[in-house]
């Protein structure tokens, strides 16, 4: 069976499988016909390839006698909100490769609830893909990708305004829009909320999305700023002293002020978050990497807050997926009402030091079949205290990535040294 879907939808380098006109047309046709959808929302980011991909998507939807409603160049979470809250829609497709370079693109599929489609639906599409015989017929339905359907955008603004005390925001914090899907959107948002978000990196040219900017490149975020990634579902920040504020910092900060009882992270969430939860009596849950899995666990446990280190942060009263802009508003609302600055987040919610050891492997054998490795991990973790060692294989390369965390640097360095020594003597 052809593998199409990764951690978050379909992605790849444009012009190669599965990001060709034929592949895009085919998978969209399967999605729109197999699940008997009628009205499908379509949106995209600022990559130069988004235009021809959008035309392939729209052509496939029309061929299946379904209706493609064009939302325009908007962030992924905005499409998610609109699909989940407007009864007109029973599905949605976002054209984006998120934080990847401009010469990559992809598709994120949503169900009628505005949530990423399930593993089961992804597999059903993949099963159909190999046996689906069709003739690709693509027409130019849109000529200019840089437009926004403001009618539906206003639904989103009005919806999130119910959960944010806009009147409390007297001081905004500059926003790096990554020359991506938030670039046009943020101008409309400023007009609606009558606030100046001081946005920068808002002049997309089709090739500069995520280039030396945005949450995907936090080293380039200006001090005292927040930043989105290319499709606006991540948010990260940097304080005046240059300290990075990632998704783990944001989860702890919001947990304190929202007084949550449960919190969901992933296997990559810093151990400091787990210790933070223990100290406050918050139940903490880990999931595989991917905000879709975070959302599933939130539904299962009743948690209203969850997210990833990379900046995907889900606050379910507002939205059902990572939403950079909504979280930005909630953060600056709290910072204003509490008279706080970004340094409060970075300094009062410190993370454990981390290091990653990358080991090239010949094959991805189960971790417990690497002779002597599991006993070594258990022995080293005794010295790490609240820290941990977490090994996982890369999804795209023959590399074993071993994450090591510790409250103190000395045992961290010792564990790293011992692991490197072990693999210098062990063939994998």
User: Which residues are known to be catalytic?
Assistant: 98
3-state secondary structure of 247: helix
Distance CA 131, CA 193 (A): 49
Q: CA gyration radius for the chain? A: 22
Structure tokens at 420: 């490197």
Chain centroid, CA 333 distance in Å: 22
Distance CA 203, CA 318 (A): 28
Distance CA 169, CA 340 (A): 12
DSSP 409-424: HHHHHHHHHHHHHHHH
Residues contacting 237, CB < 8 A, separation 6+: 173, 221, 225, 226, 227, 244, 245, 249, 250, 342, 345
Strand order in the sheet with 313-315: 283-287, 262-266, 305-307, 313-315
Q: How many CB atoms lie within 10 A of CB 169?
A: 18
Q: Where are the alpha helices (DSSP H) in 66-149?
A: 76-85, 119-131
């Amino acid at each position: 069976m052809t593998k199409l879907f990764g951690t978050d939808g379909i992605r790849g380098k444009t012009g190669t499988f599965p990001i060709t006109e034929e592949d895009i047309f085919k998978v969209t046709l399967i999605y729109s016909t197999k699940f008997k959808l009628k009205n499908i929302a379509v949106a995209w980011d600022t990559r130069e390839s988004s235009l021809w991909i959008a035309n392939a998507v729209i052509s496939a939807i029309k061929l299946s006698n379904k209706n493609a409603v064009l939302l325009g160049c908007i962030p992924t979470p905005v499409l998610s909100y609109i699909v989940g809250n407007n009864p007109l829609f029973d599905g949605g497709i976002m054209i984006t490769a998120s934080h990847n370079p401009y010469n990559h693109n992809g598709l994120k599929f949503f169900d009628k609830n505005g949530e990423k489609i399930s593993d089961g639906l992804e597999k059903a599409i993949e099963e159909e893909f190999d046996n689906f015989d069709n003739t690709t017929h693509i027409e130019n339905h849109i000529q200019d990708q840089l437009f926004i359907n403001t009618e539906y955008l206003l639904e989103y603004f009005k919806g999130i305004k119910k959960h944010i005390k806009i009147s409390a925001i007297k001081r905004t914090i500059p926003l790096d829009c990554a020359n991506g899907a938030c670039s046009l959107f943020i101008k409309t948002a400023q007009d609606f909320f009558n606030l100046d978000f001081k946005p920068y990196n808002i002049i997309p040219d089709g090739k500069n999305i995520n280039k030396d900017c945005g949450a995907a490149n936090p080293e380039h975020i200006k001090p005292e700023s927040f930043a989105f990634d290319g499709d606006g579902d991540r948010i990260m920040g940097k304080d005046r002293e240059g300290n990075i504020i990632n998704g783990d910092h944001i989860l702890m900060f919001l947990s304190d002020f929202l007084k949550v009882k449960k919190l969901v992270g992933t296997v990559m969430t810093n151990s400091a978050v787990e210790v933070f939860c223990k100290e406050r009596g918050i139940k903490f849950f880990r999931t595989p990497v991917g905000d879709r899995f975070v959302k599933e666990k939130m539904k299962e446990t009743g948690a209203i807050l969850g997210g990833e280190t990379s900046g995907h942060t889900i606050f379910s009263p507002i939205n059902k997926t990572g939403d950079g802009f909504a979280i930005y508003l909630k953060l600056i609302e709290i910072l204003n009402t509490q008279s706080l600055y970004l340094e409060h987040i970075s300094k009062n919610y410190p993370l454990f030091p981390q290091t990653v050891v990358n080991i090239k492997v010949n094959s991805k054998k189960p971790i417990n079949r690497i002779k002597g490795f599991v006993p070594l991990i258990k022995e080293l973790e005794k010295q790490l205290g609240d820290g941990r060692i977490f090994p996982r294989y890369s999804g795209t390369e023959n590399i074993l990535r071993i994450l090591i965390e510790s409250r103190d640097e000395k045992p961290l360095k010792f564990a790293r040294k011992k692991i490197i020594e072990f693999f210098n003597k062990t063939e994998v």
